[in-house]
Chain A
Amino acid sequence: MHICKKSSTFAAANYNWYMVNDKMANHLLVIKDLHASIGGKEILKGVNLVINEGEVHAIMGPNGAGKSTLSAVLTGNPAYEVTSGEVYLKGENLLEMAPEVRARAGVFLSFQYPVEIPGVSMTTFMRTAINEKRAYEGKEPLSAKEFLALMREKKKLLELPDKLNNRSVNEGFSGGEKKKNEIFQMAMLEPCLSILDETDSGLDIDALRIVAEGVNRLKTPQNASIVITHYQRLLDYIVPDFVHVLADGQIVKTGDKTLALELEEHGYENL
């Protein structure tokens, strides 16, 4: 793992920028000097980050620092404009891909506010998504039987009820159910890069435990997660390899899991 922040004293130390350039494809995700804005207002002001397979990165920071903007930009949300910088997923130019192609290539966002889709059942939604991904990978679509068996298996992981299949996507779900449903979808789609945007917000302790256990069980040496959170609490359950502090559109500090505890104690003001 490298933190690439050209201007900060931290990153300059042992960082060889050109090596990363040469070996872009050796990393799961490389973000280089990323600038992005919404409605003409610049939110990300030069984010640099390298993520390798098997790693869990926490991104913390005060409200308005750009945490959710980063997840929106990585997934291609059309409300945001990338003004400069580069992002590579396994060496491929991520920013040139349409949002649905990024998803099929393995980028998954657990939304901070999952969207309700009345009239579209979880079965229809998930089956369409899975088969789009399989087509992208050159695989045959799943049969109805195979698909339902997969649904059953993954629902257990999140302790979701059987009746989920026929319910409309997120419609009338409680806050906890919505977040469990996000991780359920993550389990179904098996992404290589998961971005968990404030997954802990609005969760009671039991739901938090189930969600975190789900995430932990989905961890493999081949995938990685970005855990965006305001509080340290979630990181008791999902232990990060690296903690980054995002403030005013830049990563200003990087450390291990103890950094999260420090932030909890002293806040962001002293950075």
Chain B
Amino acid sequence: MKISKGDIFDRVFINEPGLNLHIEQEAGSQVKIVVINLENPTSPDLEISNQIFIEQLGEGCQTEVYALAFLHGEEKVTTETHVLHAVGGGRSNQLVKFVLDDNARGRFIGDLKIAQDAQQTEAHQTNRNLLLSDTAEMRTQPQLEIYADDVKATHGASTGQLDESALFYMQQRGIDPKKARQLLVNAFMKEVLNKISDETIKENLLNAIDSVIEEA
């Protein structure tokens, strides 16, 4: 798929196993993709793979990739991003989050390449993962290849558990521990959901995760 000069491509993909996107950006185009996996719509044994390939082929492009997976049971999701800055003056930002419960498996492959000619590129890649059980597993494989020298690039990856001190703080205010956990998990997920431009889709997803709290 080609995004023409100056065009904007802004899409949300919800529970789409086998998502495979190939995007070529022309000068000054803007791409914003949000990929959400909140449940496995088909077989729980199926390994879901989301692959996103984006190439900035014209100058001054903007690319945003946000992904969230909340997995239970035996669910497995792999999110792959391949972002190439072929020419200069472009910007890219990636935020990929996994929340893994039970025996869920998450995998992030983040491939960021800044070619020699892509001077004055600004690129950020962040991967944050929350493990809710001792048996959930996360694999993170960031891969950065930077051949230009005048660039600003950052990347960070972390995997952890819920903040015990925050849980106790909330309990000390009378909040049920189950509800407190849910509030913290939702807060973690909202950072991605809030990136969705379509207000209706965003509200529906936020309400969907908040209704879990009400039921707790």
Instruction: Using CB atoms and an 8 Å cutoff, list the residues of chain A in contact with chain B.
Output: 75-78, 98-100, 103-104, 108-109, 111, 114-120, 124-126, 128-129, 132-133, 136, 168, 185, 189
Contacts and interface: CB of A to CB of B under 8 A. Distances in A.
Nearest to A75: B172
Interface residues of B, number: 22
A128 B179 contact: yes
B169 A78 contact: no
B158 to A, nearest CB: 14
A129 B173 contact: yes
A103 B173 CA distance: 6
Nearest to B185: A119
Interface of B: 163, 165-166, 168-177, 179, 183-184, 186-188, 190-191, 213
Given A115-B166, A119-B188, A119-B191, A125 B172 contact: no
The B contact surface, by secondary structure, is: helix
A124 B176 contact: no
A168 B168 CA distance: 17
Nearest to B168: A77
18 contacts: A98-B177, A99-B168, A99-B172, A103-B171, A103-B173, A103-B174, A108-B172, A115-B165, A116-B166, A117-B163, A117-B183, A119-B188, A119-B191, A120-B184, A126-B173, A133-B174, A136-B174, A189-B173
Contacts of B175: 100, 125, 128-129, 132
B174 A78 contact: no
A120 B165 contact: no
B168 A117 contact: no
A120 B170 CA distance: 11
Given A77-B168, A78-B168, A111-B169, A100 B187 contact: no
The 10 closest A-B pairs by CB, nearest first: A119-B187, A103-B174, A129-B173, A115-B169, A99-B171, A104-B174, A132-B174, A100-B171, A120-B187, A133-B174
